[in-house]
Amino acid sequence: MPHPDIHLPHLISPHGFLPHILDQYIHSRWNHYFLQCCLASVSLILILLIGDTLKTAIVVGIASSAFTIFVVPNSVAATPRKVIGGHLLAAFIGTLIALILQSPPLIQMVLENRYFLDVAAALSVGIGIFLMVVTNTEHPPAAGTSLGLVIQCCEPNIGVDWSSIIFIMVSAGLLSGVRIVLRDKMVNLL
């Protein structure tokens, strides 16, 4: 039985309680942690209610953008140029490749062989990353935008879904607007 005056160094350290499990700043910034996570949830609830869409692959990219904006609001990846520009380029590439896949010579091949669609979706991510890097609009969550648009294009009765593209851009704009308004009140949680 350890003596009561002896600290258990693996549980308590200068960095807080259970430092390998809990963030060392949780005790001093708990209000920021709570507020910023709530803001992320509320923003996504409003976006999903307004968008009235649940295209999984598309929403994942926007949810990842919300994570970036509300967890590391002072990071370069959370700037409006990166968020909006990254999603815009990714949407452009995803739509372009989706339209090519739906052309008469290719659509039957894509429907018969899923590997062709998988290669096209992966290429949309690679091309999107290249264009984001070249234009200084790198936003990692935007990779999900191009991937989602290409995969979605070959689902029955969907094709290129222009409402998804509008949803992506409006969501990126709304999240960026919230970040602009609340940036001085938020801190990086990482």
Among 36, 38, 60, 37, which residue's Cα sits nearest to residue 48?
60
Which structural domain, as residue segments, surrounds residue 91? 15-183
Mean pLDDT across the chain: 82
Average pLDDT of the residues in 22-35: 75
Dihedrals phi, psi of 19, to nearest 5 degrees: -65, -20
Q: Is residue 20 part of a domain?
A: yes
Q: Is residue 190 part of a domain?
A: no
* DSSP letter, residue 106: H
Quick one: pLDDT at residue 153?
78
Q: Which residue has the higher pLDDT, 81 or 17?
A: 81
This prediction has a pTM of 0.78
Q: Is residue 159 part of a domain?
A: yes
Quick one: pLDDT at residue 42?
85
Q: pLDDT tens for residues 110-143?
A: 778 778 888 888 899 999 999 999 999 999 999 8
Using a 10 angstrom Cβ sphere, with 0-12 exposed, 13-18 middle and 19 or more buried, the burial of residue 61 is: buried
Q: pLDDT tens for residues 146-170?
A: 888 888 877 666 667 788 888 899 9
Q: Which residue has the higher pLDDT, 36 or 96?
A: 96
Q: Is residue 105 part of a domain?
A: yes
176 contacts 69 by C-beta, under 8 angstroms: yes
Domain count, the chain: 1
Q: Is residue 7 part of a domain?
A: no
Average pLDDT of the residues in 77-81: 96
Name the one residue in this structure whose structure tokens are 């970036």: 68
Q: Is residue 3 part of a domain?
A: no
Among 168, 177, 172, 178, which residue's Cα sits nearest to residue 53?
168
